[in-house]
Structure 1
Amino acid sequence: MPDRLLLLDSASLYFRAFFGVPDQRASEDEPPTNALRGFLDMIATLVTAHRPTHLVACWDDDWRPQWRVDLVPTYKTHRLTEGSAVAEESPDGLTPQVPLIREALAAIGIARLGAPGFEADDVIGTLTARHRGVMPVDVVTGDRDLLQLVDDAHAIRVLYTGRGGVREPDLATQDLLREKYGVDTGEAYLEMSVLRGDTSDGLPGVKGIGDKTAAALIAQYGSLAGLRAAVDNGDPAIKGARRTNLEAASAYLDVAPTVVRVAPDAPVAQVDLALPRAVADPAALERLATDYGIENPVKRVLTALGLG
């Protein structure tokens, strides 16, 4: 079987699992497990469907890095817990499940990687850069920002879970970028998204510019740099409110590409990313499965990995 790397945007998936998988507790005195069960089932589904030889659960060691906030102070501000400058707002029932997900990954032997001062997106960007041209890479996420990594020439795809979930993700190649967003490459998608902005990340974008206009401007001028040069040089085609808004956004456009671009060189540890050949800690996995009643999801993961 040819090598293939599958990168999981872990928080994107376990948040989706938390909100999408029913809470089966008989009593609120029992610990919640729906995100844990759902996350394990997602791994089983993805491994079965896409047959990777290498797999990483990519982790947010820092979900809102200060270096990004320094550049765009509104970055993810709305996600902060009330009264906190660092803590991310998270549902009460999800918070205690995140350590259990970490324990399950460790016990099974699935690589989990983060990087100090960086987000999971940056871990994904770095691992993609390391393996570009070495093996095909599939990125699983519900975050459109990662569409910037799509690269047909190097067999880098994004399995976007926005509507269909992990069972029926949008398979993002450059054809999908053209059809859905009107841009030809992942780099063009990144530049379009800078212009458009992203309210979910606290990025204002340029006033009056949405998806279609942003894509058209990038296509017309070849790049964000080309568009900005045209503004600076007085291109008569850019006039009125559009010129005013682009000029007003100059300081934002100076820094936003750095904020939006996923890091290709985060300090991600060099470890073996191959699928586990044996369960790493059978006793810990059995204890976790028994204590939290997740025997079936664990069995499905082990079967998918060829360990069951």
Structure 2
Amino acid sequence: MLLDTASLYFRAYFGVPESVRSPDGTPVNAVRGLLDFLARLLRDHRPDALVACMDADWRPQWRVELLPSYKAHRVAEPDAGPGGVDVEETPDTLAPQVPVIEQVLDALGLARIGAAGYEADDVIGTLSARATGPVDVVTGDRDLFQLVDDARGVRILYPVKGVGNLDVYDEAALRAKYGVDGRSYADLALLRGDPSDGLPGVRGIGEKTAARLLETYGDLGAIRAAVDDPASALTPAQRRRLHEASDYLDVAPDVVRVARDVDLPAHDATVPGAARHPEALAALAERWGLGGSLERLLSALGENAGE
């Protein structure tokens, strides 16, 4: 099980009231919400291994160099982070909770992995490519639908409400929803565009048109070849708009497709049956008032190990 951790703690933050606070009054709704998410995932899915994948760089410079608009609207403070890294706009009461989440995961002994210069998506892509057995990717980010692969047993668990209600995307579900398989989803996404990631897409080509083009031609390369083929079935408007978007289409695939060959640190993804650092965890529980949320997660860890 691979967690798109930021996606999940953002959902926890907005799904759990900010009135959930530590003894000193600091909001811990994202922390406690994420712990409850994890407990439910462990109980419902019983993973043998689990990795909390992190954004070491939420807006990698190499992607920005290819497409300057990439996530540009989400930058709060350009070059304000360590080493001049852009800082993502984050709710004031969420940002302080992220280090607490990281400390709790570490004290529990759950693997937590990021890679310099890469997003969590790239870590997930790499780990899913290396996996020798079935993989469940838990994310609220549609970008990762490109990893769906029935042959390799890779599916997406997409939270609809909390994590108790998950849409499961395998190839059949992806085709039913978007008209494409995992292999074609990245091409669909870049043709359609995604304002939330600063991807302009191709003007006049929405999701359904993109899916029809991919069904007809197979992939982005073949669609672009059809632009220069007078015998192709592209309409004049499609031909013109795809031609006008040539510069964008030259770079978009490298921006949209997740990396699958990132150099990752050594790690143990085994799901522990109990906290690996109980004293550190107890101190965090007292300091932040983690209460029943942590107890439920520890119970779920024990049940998972006992199965």
TM-score category, normalised to shorter length: over 0.9
1:228 corresponds to which of 224, 229, 232: 224
- Structure 1-normalised TM-score? 0.93
Q: TM-score, normalised by structure 2?
A: 0.94
Is the 8 Å Cα contact of residues 164 and 170 (structure 1) preserved in structure 2? no
Give deviations 1:139-160, integer Å, cap 9, x for gaps.
Answer: 0000000000000111100001
Measured after TM superposition, the shift of residue 278 of structure 1 is 3.5
Question: Which of 277, 280, 283 is the aligned partner of 2:276?
Answer: 280
Q: Percent identity, aligned pairs only?
A: 56
Stretch moving more, 279-288 or 59-68: 279-288
Deviation at 1:80, TM superposition (A): 0.4
In 1, the alpha carbon distance for the partners of 2:203 and 2:133 equals 40
Specify which of 139, 145, 149 is matched with residue 137 of structure 2: 139
Pick closer, same or farther for the CA change 1:305–1:228 going to 2, 3 Å: same
* Compared CA separation, residues 248 and 216, structure 1 to 2 (3 A): same
Once the 2 structures are TM-superposed, how far is the Cα of residue 166 of structure 1 from its aligned partner?
1.2
Give the 5 Å matches for 1:1-308: 6-25=1-20, 30-81=25-76, 86-131=86-131, 134-161=132-159, 163-183=160-180, 185-306=181-302
Q: Provide the C-alpha distance between the structure 1 equivalents of 2:173 and 2:273, rounded to a whole number of angstroms.
A: 35
Q: Which amino acid aligns with 2:216?
A: Q
Q: 2:83 corresponds to which residue?
A: none
1:236 deviation in Å?
A: 4.4
Structure 1 residues 48 and 25: CA distance shift in structure 2, 3 A: closer
Gaps of 5+ in 1: 1-5
Match of 2:76, SS state, is coil
Structure 1 residue 256: Cα displacement: 0.6
Structure 2's unaligned 5+ residue stretches are 81-85
**Distance in structure 2 (CA, Å) of the matches to 1:278 and 1:170:** 29
What is the Cα deviation at residue 234 of structure 1? 2.5
Residues 43-67 of structure 1: per-residue CA shift (max 9 Å, x gap): 0000110000100000000000000
Question: Alpha-carbon deviations, 1:2-51, whole Å to 9, x = none?
Answer: xxxx0000000001111110122579962110000000000000011000
Count of aligned pairs between the two proteins:
299
